[in-house]
Amino acid sequence: MQRRFLGMTATILALGLTATLSGCGAEAEDGDVTLKLVAADYDLNGGDTTKRYWAGLVSAYTATHPGVKIEVQVESWNDVDRKVAEMVKAGDAPDIAQIGAYADYAADGQLYTADELLSVPVQANFLRPLAAAGEQRNAQYGMPFAASTRLLFFNQDLFDKAGIDGGPKTWAELAEDAEKLKKKDVKYPFALPLGPEEAQAETMMWLLSGGDGYTDGLGRYTIDSEENVKTFEWLRKNLVEKGLTGPVAPGKLNRKDAFAAFARGEVGMLNGHPSLMQEAEKKGVKVGKVALPGVNGKARSAMGVADWIMGFKQKNHRKEIGEFLNFVFDDRNVLKFAGDNDLLPVTVSANTVMRQDPQHANLQAFLNELPSSELPPVGKTSWAKVSENIKQNIGKAVEPGQAASGVLGEIGREATAAENTE
């Protein structure tokens, strides 16, 4: 979930800035304990906003904790997970890592649980879907650091030209709108990115809108369930085979390219996130947005997305890690980071504050969906392998003449096999 820099909001200014942005380093006065923090870089434009955020946060914290020094290492999203893995393998794990996944480290007993680090009020303040996604075997190891969700976006100008009033609320309306857009020569009436870049996310959105998902109530994979097969059969028959998904086959269309086409005004509809909304509007696209349509109405839930922060046990700094993380999750800091990066706050109280902030009126629909959203099964150690399989193969399920049951069945069998080795 890489995001761009936004300005500081009026709400955050009113609250006061806990993380004073001064300087670009992460140095503090020498102390009794030095914590190493490795964090992902959220600045897609090559700037230093992420470094300055952590520098300010560390400066504010160490000013009142003279016995602690915190060294921050910010790495690009292309490298951060790999570099943390290399540090752990070399026996030099960071004390704190803010990265994309936690499950393998938790399964190996390398992480503190959230209740070993956080105060009860702080831990209880996480939005429930995010906290639940951070759990493994009924214990929370991954603490949500940044969150987002997805809505269906549409190009209002293209809708107006096609005589379409409002966004679709059901699959049938979506297909009907796509037909009208095609008649107006819209290049991508509905962009369906099932290419290998992030097909697992697009897939989950459709599975949820079809009434199921990746797992059942017990956490077992249900990828080839009857509902999921019907979902992909519908996509193939009603969108792909009717030429409503554009000139690039869904299995070859990556999210980045679909998003770029939307920002160029070439896409009628797609599933998008807050950063795309901001980028498209900057380029003159009037963006409409609605909750993801389902078979007969709104999808059962939106897909949520989170990045994680975690504490490693290796250097036995539990007390210092916990005290710092309690500070990280102060609402003023949560709101600052979310506001700067087109993200949604991970705590109940910060979510409430942002909802009431008129500066974030364009995020209200996303904020409304997040508390009831459903996240991918990131707590399963098998998920990385299953996710990669989906990325590489799910596009085949909507190819003309292809049977979705066969493709989903193969992915489902491999998922179950991977699950049985957890």
- 422: pLDDT confidence band, cut at 50, 70 and 90? confident
pLDDT score for 390: 98
Instruction: Count other Cβ atoms within 10 Å, centred on residue 15.
Output: 17
DSSP string across 111-127: B--HHHHS-HHHHHTB-
At 281 the three-state DSSP class reads: helix
Give me the pLDDT at residue 1, please. Answer: 52
337 pLDDT tier (thresholds 50, 70, 90): very high
The residue extents of the domains of the chain are 10-148+304-372, 151-301+382-419
Q: Is it the case that residue 136 has pLDDT exceeding 70?
A: yes
pLDDT in tens, 41-95: 998 767 789 999 999 999 999 999 999 999 999 999 989 999 999 999 999 999 9
Q: What is the CATH number assigned to the segment(s) 151-301+382-419?
A: 3.40.190.10
Torsional sign, CA 366, 371, 377, 378: positive
**Does 3.40.190.10 match the CATH number of domain 10-148+304-372?**
yes
Residue 12, pLDDT score: 33
pLDDT at 342: 84
The residue with tokens 């179950």 is 416
**Identical fold between 10-148+304-372 and 151-301+382-419:** yes
pLDDT tens-place string over residues 169-206: 999 999 999 999 999 999 999 999 999 999 999 999 99
Classified as helix, coil or strand, 283 is coil
pLDDT at position 78 is 87
* Helix 199-209 with 226-235: angle, nearest 10 deg: 110
pLDDT of res. 304: 96
Amino acid making up residue 349 = S
Give 25's pLDDT tier (boundaries 50, 70, 90): very low
